[in-house]
Structure 1
Amino acid sequence: MVAADAFRDQPVLAGELVRLEPLGPAVLPAYWRTLQDPEGRRLTGTHAEFTHEQTETWLRSRGDQHDRADWAATAVGSGEFVGEVVLNDLDPANESVGFRIGLAGPHVYGRGYGTEMTRLVLDHAFGTVRLHRVELEVYAHNPRAQRVYEKCGFRLEGRRREALLWDGVRYDALLMSVLATDPR
């Protein structure tokens, strides 16, 4: 069994393209812009609206959450905020967790950031935290994200038909997971 506070000591994770640091208020301006990006909202199916104050409060509270890990991703070299990556919905008894990623907008798509962010977090989840399963949901209208997940070892498990209504069109949600024993 994994500890219920498995993410108490959330490390910095560094790759060739990105550096992942615990998410906090230091990235508020860039994080706020990301939340307003129409394409990012469409790809993630984000209908919710957040105020600037709610967003700042959320960012300030991340360090107090030990059953999840939220990272801010910055580009190596420039330090530009390129997105966030999250392990959430920890199930200690089953050694599993949810995965979520959001890139800062179309200006960072296609540069390998999402792939490296995913690989770094999976290495941490399986190697350090000793989880067995990481799962996610991705919408069918986001094939770029699906390819990244497949490259990183996620496998399709199922489909929630017409789970998202966006601008009058219904989209399926695809359920994917990767196990510690799966090739990555």
Structure 2
Amino acid sequence: MRKIVAKGDGVALAELTDTDHEWLTEHNDNAFDVDRDGRDMPFQAPNHRLAVTTEDGGELLGQVNWHPVNYGPSYGCVAWNFGRQLLPHSRGKGIGTEVLRLLVRHLFDTTDVDRIEGGTDTTNVRAQRSMEKAGFTREGIIRGAQVRDGKRQDLISYSILRTDPRP
């Protein structure tokens, strides 16, 4: 059984089991995955992951991940950058918004970082609405941030600060 880290309205964040990565890979449609170009990353930031499950932890619905990004020479310049991936059968049901609310609460409750940020594809209108419903502020376009299907793709940047009001 998965260990639940945070619970919300019909959904939970849980520790991934050894077999979850494989299962998620098999059931993902890779709708917004980026191309791998074969080059090694010039640095490796720690990447944290949790499963998105039903409230009881029984069914996998997707996953979330986050890693630190640095905007200056001190801890006060660190933000969490997150990603989320919902399986096709989990999309369009409001789960993504609740997942973001849980992730924000979890990160602000368990870390001292004051900024959480993420981006979404300019064509992913559902994700944009979900971020706004979860209290994130749209910041702008990050031009050519990802490569998908051999083409540079723009992202829309969103963030939430510890001091921002929550919906």
Pairwise same-fold verdict (TM > 0.5): yes
CA positional deviation for 1:132: 0.5
Q: Unaligned stretches of 5+ in structure 2?
A: 38-45
Residue in 2 that maps onto 1:30: 23
Conserved? CA contact 1:103–1:114, under 8 Å: yes
Runs of 4+ in 1 over 6 A off after TM superposition: none
In 1: Cα distance, 2:146 partner to 2:78 partner: 28
Which residue matches 1:20?
13
Structure-2 residue corresponding to 1:79? 58
Q: Does the Cα contact within 8 Å between 2:63 and 2:85 map onto a contact in 1?
A: yes
Match of 1:104 in 2: 87
Q: 1:34 to 1:88 in 2, by over 3 A?
A: farther
Whichever residue aligns with residue 15 of structure 2, its letter is P
1:114 matches 2:93: no
Counterpart in the other structure of 2:136: 154
How far does residue 87 in structure 1 lie from its aligned partner after superposition?
Answer: 2.0
Indicate conservation of the 8 Å contact 1:22/1:69, yes or no.
no
Distance 2:64 2:110 in 1: 17
CA contact (8 A) 1:23 1:71 kept: yes
Residue 165 of structure 1 deviates from its aligned partner by 5.0
Summarize deviations over 1:93-134 as a string: whole Å, max 9, x none. 1242111100012x1111222111111110111233232100
CA drift of 1:71 comes to: 0.5
Deviation at 1:167, TM superposition (A): 4.5
Separation of aligned partners in 2, 1:12 and 1:78: 10
Distance across 2 between alignment mates of 1:172 and 1:100: 15
Residue 31 of structure 2: aligned partner:
42
Q: What one-letter code is carried by the residue in structure 2 that aligns with 1:151?
A: K
When normalised by structure 2's length, the TM-score is 0.77
Name the SS of the counterpart of 2:126 in structure 1.
Answer: helix
CA 1:28 to 1:125, structure 2 compared with 1: closer, same or farther past 3 Å? closer
AA in 2 matched with 1:47: D
> TM-score, normalized by length of structure 1?
0.71
| Counterpart Cα distance in 2 of 1:88 and 1:125 | 11
The number of equivalent residue pairs is 153
How far is 1:22 from its partner?
A: 1.5
C-alpha RMSD of the superposition: 2.8
Are the structure 2 counterparts of residues 28 and 68 from structure 1 closer, same or farther at C-alpha, using a change threshold of 3 Å? closer
For residues 73 and 161 of structure 1, what CA distance do their matches in structure 2 show?
29
Find the aligned partners of 1:168 and 1:127 in 2 and give their Cα distance: 39
1:180 and 2:159 matched: no
